[in-house]
């Protein structure tokens, strides 16, 4: 298909009239063509057209590329912004992946509600992405390759060139006498995409000239299939809700077929705003957390996240930081106390019910964590019970129990914040009382009435 500003506009979905259009402008052929063509249809775009250049600092020519982009945008009277990144790849880390993730992160942060980020991936890029995902063993979500429109931060991402080949873009650039920069790393065959582009795709296209178009069509069909899969997973997630929001019922989940469980687990993880794990971790979640022994304590971790099971609930949460349960913190009981290991802070206020204010003001206050053997007789209870029994009654998962702060007065357990005040520290009816609030904790608990 021949490329022109008019055909570009025809292929773009209706845009809201409020947001600005930011072009991710590298200075290469593709983004130069996109920016130039958008200038021609500027009056049909919402808000203001702007150019954003990401300076990765990975090439010696990077400063010159930034200068070229500034001059190119200036000649078109397009507002220009350059964002400099400080990338420090670790040994063995993919520089390409690191740069891509950092680029999209800063661009997402830049977008305001209803803003659009327009990127210049074209039909040949889409075909390459599909093949790369096939070689990685991806399922329909990966084989859907690059969506034409998607959410990004507070705004939207659109790839308006996916219907056009690189050859069509190059023909337009030459007809308009455009200049662009060439990144020498694009010829480096150590990068998988470059190897595919320069060594494999020419051979495929020599035998199947329409390969880019047909592969892109396959990606679109996979995207359609993924929509249906996601719709079914969303329905399943409603049926498999656990005891609290964000949890899944293992009992209900286990009644589904294994492919359906994996699909639901992937959908559930993404619903938390987290990148879904690969097949291996999904299979472990299925085998260990859903179908494993009821008395097991499974843990599947990836990318800073953890999935665990307790009773009939499947939990997902950020990986817990290291914690020393042997800590003992002295506290004056007045100023807020910040706890270690991201466990939030403790705050005190006067209240009608709670711990006896006189005992609180005159006692020696310490914050400890469970070591074993602690006992408490909660207000309204007739006898003492072990902390283990109480946590079981309250449904506190085992991996969180030694992270709950315990307040001791004169060496005796007085308060389990968020759960109970222990006798004999409960304020009598009408007596001055103190309420202890546990705020900002990383622990995802459903707690009874605050103590």
pLDDT digits (tens, 9 = 90+) for 247-286: 999 999 999 999 999 999 999 998 888 878 888 999 999 9
Can you tell me the mean pLDDT for 103-112? 89
pLDDT digits (tens, 9 = 90+) for 67-98: 999 999 999 999 999 998 877 766 666 667 77
Query: Are 255 and 283 contacting, i.e. CB atoms less than 8 angstroms apart?
Result: no
| β partners of residue 331 | 365
pLDDT band at 58; cut points 50, 70, 90: confident
In this predicted structure, what is the pLDDT of residue 313? 94
Alpha-carbon gap, residue 378 to 272, rounded angstroms: 35
Can you tell me the mean pLDDT for 95-122? 87
Q: Hey, what domains does the chain have and what are their CATH numbers?
A: 5-220 (3.40.50.620), 247-318 (1.20.59.20), 329-439 (no CATH)
Which has the higher per-residue pLDDT, 187 or 315?
A: 315
Alpha-carbon gap, residue 166 to 392, rounded angstroms: 62
Nearest CA to 167 out of 33, 38, 8, 27 is that of 33
Strand ranges (E), 135-285: 149-152, 155-158, 248-249
Which has the higher per-residue pLDDT, 376 or 294?
A: 376
| β partners of residue 421 | 415
pLDDT digits (tens, 9 = 90+) for 373-412: 899 999 888 889 999 999 999 989 999 999 999 999 999 9
pLDDT digits (tens, 9 = 90+) for 196-235: 999 999 999 999 999 999 999 999 999 999 999 999 999 9
pLDDT band at 161; cut points 50, 70, 90: very high
Alpha-carbon gap, residue 161 to 153, rounded angstroms: 21
In this predicted structure, what is the pLDDT of residue 451? 43
H-helix or E-strand spanning residue 360: helix 357-362
Give the contacts of 392 (CB within 8 A, at least 6 positions apart): none
| β partners of residue 156 | 116, 151
Q: What are phi and psi of 178, to 5 degrees?
A: -80, 155
Tokens (6 digits) for 227 = 């929509």
In this predicted structure, what is the pLDDT of residue 151? 86
Nearest CA to 7 out of 32, 50, 38 is that of 38
Rounded to two decimals, the pTM is 0.75
Q: For residue 100, what is the DSSP state?
A: H
Tokens (6 digits) for 352 = 């009608």
Percent of the chain with pLDDT over 90: 62
Nearest CA to 414 out of 374, 441, 373 is that of 374
In this predicted structure, what is the pLDDT of residue 34? 97
- Highest mean predicted confidence (pLDDT) among 64-73, 190-199, 416-425: 64-73
The answer to whether residue 165 scores a pLDDT higher than 90 is yes
Own/partner pairs, 7-15, CB within 8 angstroms, 24+ separation: 7/164, 8/34, 8/37, 8/38, 8/41, 8/160, 8/161, 9/41, 9/44, 11/160, 11/163, 12/158, 12/160, 13/148, 13/149, 13/158, 15/45, 15/46, 15/116
Whether the bond between 421 and the residue before it is cis, its omega within 30 degrees of 0, is no
**Pairing assessment for the beta strands 337-338 and 355-356 based on DSSP bridges:** unpaired
Q: What are phi and psi of 316, to 5 degrees?
A: -130, 135
**Distance between first and last Cα of the chain:** 69
The answer to whether residue 450 scores a pLDDT higher than 50 is no
In this predicted structure, what is the pLDDT of residue 449? 47
Which has the higher per-residue pLDDT, 235 or 101?
A: 235
pLDDT digits (tens, 9 = 90+) for 334-378: 889 999 988 999 999 888 888 999 999 999 999 999 988 899 999
């Amino acid at each position: 298909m021949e490329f022109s500003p008019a055909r570009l506009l025809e292929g773009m979905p209706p845009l809201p009239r409020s947001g600005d259009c930011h072009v991710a402008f590298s200075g290469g052929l593709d983004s130069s063509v996109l920016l130039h063509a958008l200038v021609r249809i500027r009056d049909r775009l919402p808000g203001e057209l702007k150019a954003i250049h990401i300076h990765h600092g990975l090439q010696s020519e990077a400063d010159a590329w930034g200068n070229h982009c500034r001059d190119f945008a200036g000649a078109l009277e397009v507002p220009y912004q350059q964002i400099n990144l400080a990338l420090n790849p670790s040994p063995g880390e993919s520089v390409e992946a690191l740069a891509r993730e950092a680029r999209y992160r800063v661009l997402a942060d830049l977008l305001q509600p209803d803003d659009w980020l327009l990127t210049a991936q074209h039909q040949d890029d889409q075909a390459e992405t599909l093949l790369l995902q096939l070689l990685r063993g991806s399922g329909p979500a990966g084989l859907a390759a690059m969506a034409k429109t998607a959410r990004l931060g507070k705004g939207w991402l659109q790839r308006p060139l996916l219907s056009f080949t690189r050859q069509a873009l190059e023909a337009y650039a030459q007809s308009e006498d455009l200049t662009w920069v060439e990144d020498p790393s694009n010829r480096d065959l150590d990068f998988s995409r470059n190897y595919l582009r320069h060594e494999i795709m020419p051979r495929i296209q020599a035998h199947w000239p329409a390969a880019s178009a047909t592969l892109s069509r396959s990606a679109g069909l996979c995207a359609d299939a993924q929509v249906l899969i996601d719709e079914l997973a969303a329905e399943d997630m409603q049926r498999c809700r656990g005891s609290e929001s964000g949890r899944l019922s293992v009992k209900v989940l286990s009644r589904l077929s294994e492919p359906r469980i994996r699909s639901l687990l992937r959908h559930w993880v993404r619903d938390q705003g987290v990148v879904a794990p690969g097949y291996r971790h999904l299979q472990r979640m299925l085998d260990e957390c859903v179908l494993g022994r009821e008395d097991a304590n499974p843990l599947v971790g990836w990318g800073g996240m953890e999935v665990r099971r307790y009773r009939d609930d499947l939990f997902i949460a950020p990986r817990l930081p290291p914690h020393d349960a042997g800590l003992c913190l002295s506290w004056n009981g007045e100023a807020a106390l910040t706890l270690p290991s991201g466990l939030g802070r403790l705050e005190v206020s006067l209240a009608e019910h709670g711990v006896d204010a006189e005992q609180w003001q005159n006692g020696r206050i310490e914050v400890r964590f469970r070591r074993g053997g602690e006992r408490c007789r909660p207000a309204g209870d007739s006898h003492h019970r072990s902390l283990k029994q109480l946590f079981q009654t309250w449904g506190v998962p085992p991996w969180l129990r030694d992270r709950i702060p315990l307040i001791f007065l004169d060496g005796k357990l007085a308060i389990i914040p968020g759960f109970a005040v222990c006798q004999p520290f409960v304020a009598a009816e009408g007596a001055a009382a103190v309420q202890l609030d546990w705020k900002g904790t990383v622990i995802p608990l459903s707690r009874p009435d605050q103590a």
